[in-house]
Amino acid sequence: MSDSDISNMSEMSMIQAIHSALDVMLARDPNVLIFGEDVGYFGGVFRATDGLQAKYGPTRCFDTPLSEGGIVATAIGMGAYGLRPVVEIQFADYILPAYDQLVSEAARLRYRSGGEFWAPITVRAPYGGGIYGGQTHSASPEALFTHVAGLKTVIPATPYDAKGLLIAAIEDDDPVIFLEPKRIYNGPFDGRHDLPARPWAGHEGSEVPEGHYTVKLGQAAIRRPGRTVTVLAYGTMVHVSLRAVEECGIDAEVIDLRSLVPLDIETIISSVNKTGRCVIVHEATRYSGFGAELSALVQERCFYRLEAPITRVTGWDTPYPHAFEWDYFPGPQRVAEGLRRVLES
Partner 1 sequence: MRNQPPLSLHIPVPHARPGEKPDFSYLTFPEAGALRCPDWLTPEAEMRDLPYSLIRVLAKDGQAVGPWDPRLAPDILRRGLRAMMLTRIFDDRMFTAHHQGKTSFYMKSTGEEATAIAPSLALLPSDMCFPTYRMTGFLVARDYPLKNMVNQIFANAEDPMRGRQLPLLYSARDYGFYTLAGNVGSRFGHAVGWAMASAYKNDDKIAMAFVGDGTTAEGNFHEAMVFASVYHAPVILCVTNNQWAISSYQGIAGGEETTFAARGIGYALPGLRVDGNDFLAVYSATQWAAERARANHGATLIEFVTYRVAGHSTNDDPSRYRPSDEASAWPLGDPIERLKTHLITIGEWSEQQHEALARELHEQVRAAAKAGEALGTLGQNPPPKREMFEHVFKEPDWRNLEQRREAGIAS
Residue of 24, 109, 220, 248 that binds partner 1 (CB under 8 A) = 109
Least Å distance between CB 326 and partner 1?
A: 36
Least Å distance between CB 122 and partner 1?
A: 14
Taking the C-alpha atoms of residue 261 and residue 142, their distance in angstroms, rounded to an integer, is 10
Site for partner 1 in 153-182 (CB under 8 A): 173-174
**Are residues 303 and 269 in contact, defined by beta-carbon separation less than 8 angstroms?**
no
Nearer to partner 1, 17 or 167 (CB): 167
Does residue 306 touch partner 1 according to CB under 8 A? no
> Is residue 137 among the annotated active site residues?
yes
Does residue 64 touch partner 1 according to CB under 8 A? yes
Site for partner 1 in 24-43 (CB under 8 A): 33
Longest dimension (CA), the chain: 60
Residue 303 neighbours by CB under 8 Å, 6+ apart: none
CA angle 265, 269, 271 (to 5 degrees): 120
Does residue 88 touch partner 1 according to CB under 8 A? no
Does residue 81 touch partner 1 according to CB under 8 A? yes
Site for partner 1 in 255-274 (CB under 8 A): 261-263, 265
Taking the C-alpha atoms of residue 109 and residue 159, their distance in angstroms, rounded to an integer, is 32
Least Å distance between CB 282 and partner 1?
A: 20
Stretch that binds partner 1, among 39-47, 60-68, 269-277, 318-326 (CB under 8 A): 60-68
User: 3-state class of 344 per DSSP?
Assistant: helix
Site for partner 1 in 218-237 (CB under 8 A): 218
Does residue 149 touch partner 1 according to CB under 8 A? yes
Does residue 105 touch partner 1 according to CB under 8 A? yes
What is the total count of residues that contact partner 1 (CB under 8 A)? 45
Helix then strand then coil, % of the chain, to nearest 5 = 40, 20, 40
Stretch that binds partner 1, among 8-16, 82-90, 126-134, 275-283 (CB under 8 A): 82-90
Query: Can you state the angle between helices 236-248 and 332-344, rounded to 10 degrees?
Result: 60
Residue of 2, 10, 67, 270 that binds partner 1 (CB under 8 A) = 67
Least Å distance between CB 215 and partner 1?
A: 17
Least Å distance between CB 124 and partner 1?
A: 17
Strand partners, 33: 85
User: 3-state class of 190 per DSSP?
Assistant: coil
Does residue 204 touch partner 1 according to CB under 8 A? no
Q: Which ranges in the chain belong to alpha helices (H)?
A: 14-28, 52-56, 68-81, 99-100, 109-112, 142-146, 159-171, 236-248, 265-275, 290-302, 325-328, 332-344
Query: Can you state the angle between helices 290-302 and 265-275, rounded to 10 degrees?
Result: 60
Catalytic residue, from 19, 137, 203, 282: name it.
137
Residue of 112, 195, 197, 345 that binds partner 1 (CB under 8 A) = 112
Query: Can you state the angle between helices 159-171 and 14-28, rounded to 10 degrees?
Result: 30
- Show which residues are catalytic: 137
Query: Which residues are at the interface with partner 1 (CB under 8 A)?
Result: 33, 59, 64-65, 67, 69-70, 73-83, 85, 97, 100-101, 104-105, 108-118, 149-150, 152, 173-174, 218, 261-263, 265
